[in-house]
Amino acid sequence: MVSRREFVAASAGIAAIAATPGAIGKTLSGKKPLRILIMGGTGFLGPHFVEAALNKGHQLSLFNRGKTNPGRFKDSRYAAIEQLQGDRKSDLSALENKTWDAVLDTSAYLPADVTRSAGLLAKAVRQYLIVSTISVYAKMDKPGLDEASELIELADPNVDKVSNETYGGLKALSEKAAENAMPGKVTVVRPGLIVGPGDHTDRFTYWPARAARGGDILAPENPDAPTQFIDVRDLANFLLHLIEQKNIDVFNADAQAGSLTMGKVLDACLKVSPKAGKPVWVAADFLAENNVGAWMDLPCWIPAHGDEAGFGQRSAKKALAAGLMYRPLINTVRDTLAYWNGLPAERRAKPLAGLSPEREAEVLAKWAQKNKTSS
């Protein structure tokens, strides 16, 4: 059984938007563009939000240290973006004496950091949208758990180190810190596993990349095993929609509960694959006996039993009612594989999640021998 520790490109219109204020107004169909501050913005989710917001004609400011992907928004297409440099731990001076309609905080990991930034901006903005995580929840033992579910409470609320053990609890405290600094102005979005182009964790990416190699594919449990994740572009669009609608609330941003299974994921991966392949479904107890771990060895999967009976089935009804929309799964798979194939060969040779080909072959051979013996 997996532990909580273990669980835990721009359109052509952008150049025109950057060129003239008139183009911005036209893009918004006469509506006044929003001024949006993004805390972070150069990692995985941030760039997709930037593209979505620019395509809608909004005016953006990015605040970060300038260390992660420093050249990400340097070309002329992004000339209209205000680049603010500082450190949310020690230097927020670049944010002083400025106003925005909304803040998107994509880098809220420690409550003290959120307290500093939200406290400074409390009178400067009308909405603070914090990107949290479904890891804030204390339990996933029942299908359909929603935003009212119990949150994790850290034994030491003053801990200042992010780890597998503290991540969810610190995110929960960061949500509270934002609300304390800006009561009535905070929107909280709790995504599940974020996947798609730009994902540097290789978790979901493992499956389209593995299917592309063809042959027998070690697949966990059975085709009906539930899973849950959200395309980063769908999440970015939802975040922007919440800002445009001035929606102040708490939302789980994930796939519809029970809508995705490992069978559907593998089917989509094989449809996109350049080579023929076949999933070999291996029982969960056999995987455990052979030290094949859920989540990291076989990403996107945890046996939905016992304390994890609600895995892959957390409710996203509230987000759906608020405007969350999904692209087809096969589009996510196709675009993720294209992103993976575009990485340098040396990077693709060292994936960060999933079984190695050698280990997979070893386990498949043992499974085949077990079935041969039992028959």
One domain for residues 180 and 293: no
pLDDT at residue 120 above 60?
A: yes
One domain for residues 186 and 216: no
One domain for residues 65 and 154: yes
List the domain range (segments joined by +) for residue 221.
206-226+259-307+330-370
What is the average pLDDT across 185-205?
Answer: 97
Which candidate, 262, 273, 284, 286, places its Cα nearest to that of 215?
A: 273
Whether 240 is in a domain gets the answer no
Give the chain's domain count. Answer: 2
Instruction: Please report the pLDDT score of residue 230 as a whole number.
Output: 98
Whether 325 is in a domain gets the answer no
The first and second tokens of residue 134, run together, are 């479904």
Whether 246 is in a domain gets the answer no
One domain for residues 276 and 176: no
Report the share of the chain in percent with pLDDT over 70: 92
Task: Give me the CATH number covering residue 161.
Answer: 3.40.50.720
Q: Considering only 67-81, 104-118, 351-365, which range has the smallest mean pLDDT?
A: 67-81
End position of a domain, from candidates 167, 191, 215: 191
One domain for residues 121 and 172: yes
Instruction: Please report the pLDDT score of residue 351 as a whole number.
Output: 97
pLDDT at residue 69 above 80?
A: no
Whether 132 is in a domain gets the answer yes
If one counts every other C-beta atom within 10 angstroms of the C-beta of residue 3, the result is: 14
One domain for residues 100 and 155: yes
206-265 confidence digits (pLDDT tens) = 999 999 999 999 999 999 999 999 999 999 999 999 999 999 999 999 999 999 999 999
300-346 confidence digits (pLDDT tens) = 999 999 999 999 999 999 999 999 999 999 999 999 999 999 999 99
One domain for residues 103 and 212: no
For 46, left (φ over 0), alpha (ψ -120 to 50), or beta? Answer: alpha
pLDDT at residue 121 above 50?
A: yes
Whether 198 is in a domain gets the answer no
3-23 confidence digits (pLDDT tens) = 444 445 322 232 232 333 333
Distance CA 373, CA 367 (A): 10
Q: Give CA separation, 200 vs 3, 25, 332, 339, in Å.
A: 23, 35, 15, 10
One domain for residues 291 and 173: no
One domain for residues 79 and 19: yes
131-170 confidence digits (pLDDT tens) = 999 999 999 999 999 999 999 999 998 999 999 999 999 9
Whether 239 is in a domain gets the answer no
Whether 186 is in a domain gets the answer yes
